[in-house]
Structure 1
């Protein structure tokens, strides 16, 4: 078995297991929302905080990585705005399509990067999350609210309350102040972080909704193809254009090859977007990523 498949099959097995467990009612229907909140507000922020607190923020590679992230996101966002104007999408539909194109499943991404590239890859991934999570939250809220207008407060509050963003900011602050993780706090955070990725992948599987795949098949298929194939190709082109080192380029491409974020459904529903379309995109992209991610990762390693 190739290293890529060896790294990926346990992750997708956890997703499938989460789907089967919820469909069987185990341990209970009320377990999954609580597990998702525990992970989102405590376990996953612990992973991000500790990774960024120890990340090489003074690395000379950081400016190049930031340039690649914002160039790739900027190109994709410009293309989305042009297509929206051409097709005349309303904010509800555009918000779902934009999130299906731009957002990514963080749990799956960090699990893949940790399996393939170890702690060095996770440190770079934490840097990317510090750049991308606030940016994508801002774009998502704007896309879902553009038609009815939104205040600066309405844009910034979801970002400032996001536990992932707060964890990234706190970890970066500890790093820049050279505080580190003293008095055994590194071990505490490591224990919390160790539970985050397997629980997160189980929750991803539990959230899959196959019933949404029968609706709007055309837009589901097109958006999924763009997210899983064209976006990583664009990221690869940007990495080559900016001459990123191999590891930075690989981490960049992995993030742009991931299926969209399950949390996009809650934001879409909260802001009055097309939540059925969003649920279909999350489900189809997660299912097809089983085939697309090994292909993309195999191309990276050739």
Structure 2
């Protein structure tokens, strides 16, 4: 049964939550661990996966196109809803991030569990096209039109994002045919192996159950859009793009996983509603324990 295949991933998240609340090994450890993973281990995982990905495969190109189309269509729908029911950028930003952003650690962990190295290669392609896109959309959503610094902040954030830089490096090495020379592939793979377990622990450490006490309706609605509506949208668009097999599975997985904990950091940086964003992250991560197995089984992935 699918649930028994992926429950260890959520057990890692729970362990991270327990350890952080127990202040073990220390309060300072978890921010440092998340930063180390974000700037070193996770980029290594992206590079190692992209270098081995068959980027010239037409199915890979269709997968990237389907992923972009899914996110853009969902974003357009949210913009239409905002026009019907106006809300400030401080609240619209968290709402959009809750729907279009994704927890990369959990997504790659689920993909590795269900599809192995082949799935990781496909997932790296999804990240290569979506990481820049969702970051741009998130910053725009959090920015009021009157803010003159939004374009500068957007460019600076993109150029400083280690995931975007890792995706560029990995795709360049893959397309050039150089690969990772002189045994550096082994070094990068060793670093990459530590990314997913540490990432899942950090996801648990970042959960804020206290944020669930406010705005239950908003949290439930946003979670339903992300965890239930997005997989349906991804599956439909994937079908229109002719995806099947591993490519279709990867797209559905990245539509079915909860939003990224790093969305809270960006929201706070841009003066958005941090409490709402923390609630969205926590609610979706907890609900995903049930929704991910159910969604994948409904779409025939067992």
Interval of TM-score (by shorter of Structure 1 and Structure 2): over 0.9
Q: 2:126 aligns with which of 125, 128, 139?
A: 128
Q: Is the 8 A contact 1:92 1:144 kept in 2?
A: yes
SS in 2 for 1:301: coil
SS in 1 for 2:254: helix
Where does the alignment leave 5 or more consecutive residues of structure 2 unmatched? none
Distance across 2 between alignment mates of 1:243 and 1:51: 23
Residue 83 (structure 1) aligns with = 81
Distance across 2 between alignment mates of 1:259 and 1:146: 26
Where does the alignment leave 5 or more consecutive residues of structure 1 unmatched? none
Q: Is the 8 A contact 1:7 1:112 kept in 2?
A: no
Residue 11 (structure 1) aligns with = 9
Distance across 2 between alignment mates of 1:266 and 1:110: 21
Q: Is the 8 A contact 2:140 2:150 kept in 1?
A: no
1:181-212 C-alpha deviation (Å, 9 max, x unpaired): 12221111111111100000000000111000
What's the RMSD between the two structures over aligned residues?
A: 1.1
* TM norm structure 2: 0.97
Distance across 2 between alignment mates of 1:34 and 1:183: 31
Residues 101-112 of structure 1 aligned to structure 2 (within 5 Å):
101-112=99-110
Residues 236-275 of structure 1 aligned to structure 2 (within 5 Å):
236-275=235-274
Q: Is the 8 A contact 1:144 1:271 kept in 2?
A: yes
Distance across 2 between alignment mates of 1:59 and 1:153: 36
Q: 1:58 aligns with which of 56, 59, 62?
A: 56
Cα distance, 1:154 vs. partner? 2.2
1:136-169 C-alpha deviation (Å, 9 max, x unpaired): 0000000001333345332211011100000000
Residue 37 (structure 2) aligns with = 39
* TM norm structure 1: 0.97
Distance across 1 between alignment mates of 2:150 and 2:288: 36
